[in-house]
A and B are shown apart, each in its own frame.
Chain A
């Protein structure tokens, strides 16, 4: 699939100066050489803790911030050289809490921002109604309610509606579900996946919600202290941090075989030394096998085959994969050390 977003070696240091007479200068290195590519029709997650550089990256891609060094392209357009072209093809949501006129209704706000993109008349009205319906805003009365009376969930949905008003091929969403109730979060997550996988849009989201990234992203880049420290699909990232994966099989052995015998049988059959078997008085046996990352599927199938051949009834088999949270903590703590 073609690359539609590319960041190459982005550097950014913020210099904050305050006051006219007594100038105070503070420097913060936000990005230290960030590079990544995003393929068309995928959801790409930029995952990192607060202050990692996620929003800075998003602002550069949205043409809102000039990097000190490095380049970025959206569908081949340079964000520095051709910002107007880039703005026409991206939809942006930078904050779910604000970004609208408080004394205008949801409908009026969307119409204003639609008109700023050259949309008008019935085409715009139809688009607004469609989006409000899609995002569940019509049933919440957001079309006639002032923005100041919106709940956070409604604000987030309206922000996404604005990003979609001109039907852009690229969406850049900064923490799109931050602080939302479960229903609103789920609605937005489902929509993001639908937009990418069914409508072919490319979505770049930032988040520090690991579960969310794991659920909706096709590719993930983990960013910490201004550097990308890992990148790939979620399974690839998991494999990166864990050489061995525990497998746990629970079965019923009754009096068919003793604990020690079963351990020996499994070890010999699989050729793996790190096997532990524990049997209780009722004959329920728990087998824990540590396997090399990537071998877990083969080992599970083979182990189940052996146990069934011995007449054991399988109650449960689980591959204890690390979560993205485990990956994140391991990688970011590694970066700290």
Chain B
């Protein structure tokens, strides 16, 4: 069977299963819509209690602070969803006892994981950013909607390297039987992406670390979009380029990583 046929087959199967899962967990779908607002409300509440929106805007370097916080929260929530879902997938499959059946299916673990994770990541990102669209339209009119679409495109570009990072962490957890590899990813991303504060506030080591996290660049794009009226596409293309490079780099590590997981699991055995 050709690689393309495997990819098509897996994408269809994962799309079906994820849509069924959302249908059967309606509260989760609702929470995915509500979560960006909860985060934005928390940050806005905390920010206005400690200072003012204009201070926040000048310190973080954004234009319209409400637009930015809501949009950036959408970016952050979708990224956390992607990382959490992707990183925990291998362990979840193991705990559910599904992993051996994925391994015993013709496409095998590597293909099902790499092609399969793209679908839930894209759907959950679309839900999170659709949730923030009404506020974007309310604050900036139809241009706000264009900006949400641009950010969604960048989030999709960031999804691929994020899956790569998450799969590396999930693979390490499976090999070493240590869950800590996946549980620190989301908090770390939240810390170093500079969503709610300037990156200059971070210690030098974390600032360096923030450059290798894809979310940082999407957040940067949200900042740019909050400043400019029309999206400055020349600046956004740079960001898109960096994300594409990260996609290639991280997945070049993740794919062989999964190969070694599969080999490791086949060597040491998997509980059934």
Contact surface of A with B, Cβ cutoff 8 Å:
14-16, 18, 20, 55-56, 59, 62-66, 83-84, 87-88, 90, 92, 94-95, 97-105, 108, 111-113, 115-118, 120, 146, 162, 174
Q: B interface, how many residues as a size bin?
A: 35 or more
Which of B46-54, B221-229, B242-250, B264-272 contacts its partner? B264-272
Whole-angstrom distance between the alpha carbons of A147 and B47 in the complex?
45
Is A116 a contact partner of B25 (Cβ separation < 8 A)? no
Is B96 a contact partner of A101 (Cβ separation < 8 A)? yes
CB contact list, B218-272 vs A, under 8 A? 263, 265-270, 272
Chain A residue with Cβ nearest B9: A118
Is B16 a contact partner of A18 (Cβ separation < 8 A)? no
| Subset of 29 A-B contacts with CB under 8 Å | A56-B269, A59-B272, A62-B100, A63-B103, A64-B100, A64-B104, A64-B270, A65-B267, A65-B269, A66-B267, A84-B106, A95-B272, A98-B97, A99-B96, A100-B96, A101-B17, A101-B96, A103-B21, A104-B24, A105-B24, A108-B20, A111-B16, A112-B20, A113-B101, A113-B105, A116-B13, A116-B102, A117-B105, A118-B106
Whole-angstrom distance between the alpha carbons of A105 and B108 in the complex?
23
Is B266 a contact partner of A65 (Cβ separation < 8 A)? yes
- Tell me how far the C-beta of B91 lies from the nearest C-beta in chain A, rounded to whole angstroms: 14
Which residues from A are CB-within-8-Å of B269? 14, 56, 59, 64-65
Is A18 a contact partner of B13 (Cβ separation < 8 A)? no
- Tell me how far the C-beta of A94 lies from the nearest C-beta in chain B, rounded to whole angstroms: 4
Whether, in the assembled complex, B59 has its beta carbon less than 8 Å from a beta carbon of chain A, the answer is no
Whole-angstrom distance between the alpha carbons of A104 and B13 in the complex?
13
Which residues from A are CB-within-8-Å of B267? 65-66
Whether, in the assembled complex, B112 has its beta carbon less than 8 Å from a beta carbon of chain A, the answer is yes
Is A116 a contact partner of B10 (Cβ separation < 8 A)? yes
- Tell me how far the C-beta of B176 lies from the nearest C-beta in chain A, rounded to whole angstroms: 6
Is B104 a contact partner of A87 (Cβ separation < 8 A)? yes
- Tell me how far the C-beta of B266 lies from the nearest C-beta in chain A, rounded to whole angstroms: 5
Which residues from B are CB-within-8-Å of A174? 272
Which residues from A are CB-within-8-Å of B98? 99-101
Given contacts A101-B21, A104-B24, contact A84 B104 (CB under 8 A): no
- Which of B5, B17, B112 has the largest number of chain A CB atoms within 10 A? B17
- Tell me how far the C-beta of B263 lies from the nearest C-beta in chain A, rounded to whole angstroms: 8
Is A62 a contact partner of B104 (Cβ separation < 8 A)? yes
Given contacts A111-B16, A115-B12, contact A94 B101 (CB under 8 A): yes
Given contacts A59-B269, A66-B266, A84-B106, contact A94 B25 (CB under 8 A): no
Chain A residue with Cβ nearest B20: A108
Whole-angstrom distance between the alpha carbons of A274 and B13 in the complex?
69
Which residues from A are CB-within-8-Å of B266? 63-66
Chain B residue with Cβ nearest A56: B269
Given contacts A20-B176, A90-B104, contact A115 B272 (CB under 8 A): no
- Tell me how far the C-beta of B20 lies from the nearest C-beta in chain A, rounded to whole angstroms: 5
- Which of A111, A118, A174 has the largest number of chain B CB atoms within 10 A? A118
Which residues from A are CB-within-8-Å of B272? 55, 59, 94-95, 99, 174
